[in-house]
Amino acid sequence: MRILIIGAVAAGTSAAAKARRNSEDAEIVIYEKDSDISYSGCGMPYYLGGHMENEDELTPRDPAFFKSKYNVDALIRHEVLSIDPEQKHITVKNLQTGAVFADAYDKLIISTGASAVVPPIQGADKAHVFSMRNVNDTRSIKAFMDQKQPKTAAIIGSGFIGLEMSETLKSLGLQVTVIEKLPQVSPALDADMAVHVEEYLKQQGVAVYTDADIREITGDAVILSDDTRIPAELVLMATGVRPNTALAKAAGIELGVAGAIRVNTRMQTNLPDIYACGDCIELFDVVTGKPFYRPLGSTANKTGRIAGDNVTGRDLEFRGVLGTGIFRVFELAVAHTGLSERDAKAQGFDTVVCHNTKVDRPEYMGGREMIIKAVADRKTGRIIGAQIVGYGGVDKRIDVFVLAITAKMKAEDLFHLDLAYAPPFSTTKDPVMYTGMILENAIHRDRKQVTAQELDQIMQSGEPYTLIDTRVKAQYDAGHIETAQSIPHAQLRATADTLDKDRITITYCNKGVTGNATQNILLAKGFKKVYSLSGGRKQYQKTHPKR
Ligand SMILES: Cc1cc2nc3c(=O)[nH]c(=O)nc-3n(C[C@H](O)[C@H](O)[C@H](O)COP(=O)(O)OP(=O)(O)OC[C@H]3O[C@@H](n4cnc5c(N)ncnc54)[C@H](O)[C@@H]3O)c2cc1C
């Protein structure tokens, strides 16, 4: 059997390795039009930032490695020009010699990945404007920096690559500005979580412009449509990717969301013996079951393995993904999995949301606060999404949520998890468990939460409400939500009977714990509609800085 693979980064090489593990007899050939194979694209910002001694650490494998370890022929600088599904062959051009030839397959795997999107901005074709998708892009950026020694940089786009690069460029001594056209940075997060990231970036000395409309890139600046001039001797476009599917489309292969190749759970396309995997394919969401496009290295490796398994007659099946992502910017870790509140609402879920601020381990062990925003489905009680921003242990917590969502666990199940505890690692009740408790209380025990946005809606609705600041008077005097009255927790039992029990009543403290305690008191005293402000005033202030 002859297996041909197009593209040799994460998905293609994973597919080749798995196919070889399954079959010693197959002939396996990978065609790659670029000069590098099987590299760590994810490591490129860290290579530029000086975390690797030399470039070899980024590109640890070459065709000789694939030949000796896997008996796979990886032909670089070979571009596949077309696929003929009828004749079952592909046309290949050797980019070094110019020779064009046909190669026949029994099974074909398309792993052509994705390419950086460059928006049509005037000046985007200038020599100091870069994208960062492959090792050659990275080499170009490095060479430019070595030669021109830029002092200022603008990063257009604030997804994980843009923000990782803001750290890299800042650490190399450049003055860095992040420019985002949306009203928030880090578009995968809900706005009320992204605000933590934006605030932190600014604290690190990275300038941030959101809602920004770029008019032009000049030789040394990015000019916004309101005439703001952002100094930029280097410009990085981190504006997303689109799947490389022209080859597949021309061959009659069905495309789906975002123009990505539609595959079944075995990575089969609609054409016989043609498979696809990696950043060029459409995926499906574990929570909704719906197709979506989420190009990530973790998934490219997984889908590559599944394709490799199936072309060799085995039956590994894809189970969908949650779109889980994590990145670090300076010391801040940012992670998300499953549906954001925004996406869950758009999908028609009746969401229950909480913001839980807790230390990742005791303060005496260096613990620092993390904020977990979790989203549950009121109807089923299931956890459907989580976002975490913090300094320590964010990776472990997000992976617990990944497991919980994948296993269709309910909010109340989180409390029962026997999570590892010792002071260097966690608190006795882990922040994940607290999150489950808050959500369970909201879903089943009438301890409802309102988000800052929902509080705004109540305030603007014209319906009478009572907003209680439960902190001590000195904290209230130092600043409070404007229509709140001060009733410190210790005085609430004595004062509660003077309040209207039929009114919507919202309590808040600093982070949510005392707000919840007062909510309990009011409910016990017969108040009908009591809410606690999710994440307390601290979270509210992030989206309402003046209050
Ligand atoms: C800076 C950066 C940081 C990242 N960090 C992370 C991270 O932290 N975590 C994470 O999960 N993901 C991360 N990613 C994403 C990850 O790198 C990609 O998801 C992964 O590389 C996808 O692998 P792939 O093999 O599907 O596609 P690609 O990497 O796009 O490779 C496809 C290959 O196919 C070749 N090809 C295309 N057409 C042809 C043709 N006609 N003939 C021959 N060859 C062809 C291309 O030249 C390319 O080399 C990052 C990406 C970047 C750029």
Supply the residue whose CA is at minimum distance from atom 30 of ligand 1: 113
pLDDT of residue 46: 95
| Same CATH fold assignment for domains 129-239 and 331-444 | yes
CA 309 to chain centre: 28
CATH superfamily for 129-239 is FAD/NAD(P)-binding domain (3.50.50.60)
pLDDT of residue 257: 96
Measured CA distances, 238 to 210, 257, 495, 506, 519 (Å): 14, 21, 55, 41, 45
In CATH terms, 449-543 corresponds, of 3.40.20.10, 3.40.640.10, 3.30.930.10, 3.40.250.10, to: 3.40.250.10
Strand 107-110: give its sheet, edge to edge. Answer: 73-76, 27-32, 2-6, 107-110, 274-276
Supply the residue whose CA is at minimum distance from atom 7 of ligand 1: 42
Q: Which residues contact 178 (CB under 8 A, 6 or more apart)?
A: 154, 155, 158, 162, 163, 166, 185, 201, 206, 207, 208, 209
State the Cα–Cα distance between residues 345 and 62, nearest whole angstrom: 46
Q: 2-40+51-113+242-311: what CATH class? A: alpha beta
Cα(244) to ligand 1 centroid in Å equals 10
Supply the residue whose CA is at minimum distance from atom 48 of ligand 1: 7
Cα(9) to ligand 1 centroid in Å equals 6
Angle of the 191-203 helix axis to the 160-171 helix axis, nearest 10: 10
**Residue in 5, 112, 131 to alter for ligand 1 test, most ligand atoms within 8 A of Cβ:** 112
CATH architecture of 331-444: 3-Layer(bba) Sandwich (3.50)
- What does the domain layout of the chain look like in residue ranges? 2-40+51-113+242-311, 129-239, 331-444, 449-543
Q: How many CB atoms lie within 10 A of CB 399?
A: 15
Please say if the pLDDT value at position 260 is more than 80.
yes
Q: How confident is the model at residue 513 (pLDDT cuts 50, 70, 90)?
A: confident
Q: How confident is the model at residue 45 (pLDDT cuts 50, 70, 90)?
A: very high
pLDDT digits (tens, 9 = 90+) for 390-445: 999 999 999 999 999 999 999 999 999 999 999 999 999 999 999 999 999 999 99
**Residue in 5, 38, 42 to alter for ligand 1 test, most ligand atoms within 8 A of Cβ:** 42
pLDDT of residue 516: 85
Q: Which atom of ligand 1 is nearest to the CA of 134?
A: 53
42: annotated active-site residue: yes
Q: Which atom of ligand 1 is nearest to the CA of 11?
A: 25
Region 202-229: mean pLDDT is 98
pLDDT digits (tens, 9 = 90+) for 290-343: 999 999 999 999 999 999 999 999 999 999 999 999 999 999 999 999 999 999
Question: pTM (2 decimals)?
Answer: 0.95
Measured CA distances, 527 to 467, 485, 518, 530 (Å): 13, 17, 11, 7
Catalytic residue among 42, 277, 280, 354: 42
Q: How confident is the model at residue 546 (pLDDT cuts 50, 70, 90)?
A: low
Cα(114) to ligand 1 centroid in Å equals 6
Of 241-250, 369-378, 488-497, give the lowest mean pLDDT range.
Answer: 488-497
State the Cα–Cα distance between residues 531 and 465, nearest whole angstrom: 11
Q: Which atom of ligand 1 is nearest to the CA of 34?
A: 47
Region 63-74: mean pLDDT is 97
**Residue in 279, 283, 301, 394 to alter for ligand 1 test, most ligand atoms within 8 A of Cβ:** 279
> What residues line ligand 1, using a CB cutoff of 6 Å?
6-7, 9-12, 31-34, 41-42, 44-45, 79-80, 111-114, 132-134, 161, 244, 247, 278-279, 295-298, 300
Q: How many CB atoms lie within 10 A of CB 423?
A: 13
Consecutive H or E run containing 547: none
In percent, the amount of the chain with pLDDT more than 70 equals 100
pLDDT of residue 547: 57
Region 465-478: mean pLDDT is 95
Per-chain mean pLDDT for the chain: 96
Region 224-247: mean pLDDT is 98
Q: Which atom of ligand 1 is nearest to the CA of 303?
A: 26
Residue with token string 């014209």: 462
Please say if the pLDDT value at position 373 is more than 90.
yes
Measuring CA to CA, which residue among 322, 267, 275 is closest to residue 298? 322
Please say if the pLDDT value at position 133 is more than 90.
yes
DSSP per position, 389-453: EESSSHHHHHHHHHHHHHTT-BHHHHHH------TTT--SS-HHHHHHHHHHHHHHSS-EEE-HH
pLDDT of residue 514: 85
Q: Which atom of ligand 1 is nearest to the CA of 40?
A: 17
**What one-letter code names the amino acid at 478?**
A
Joined tokens for residue 139: 């080499």
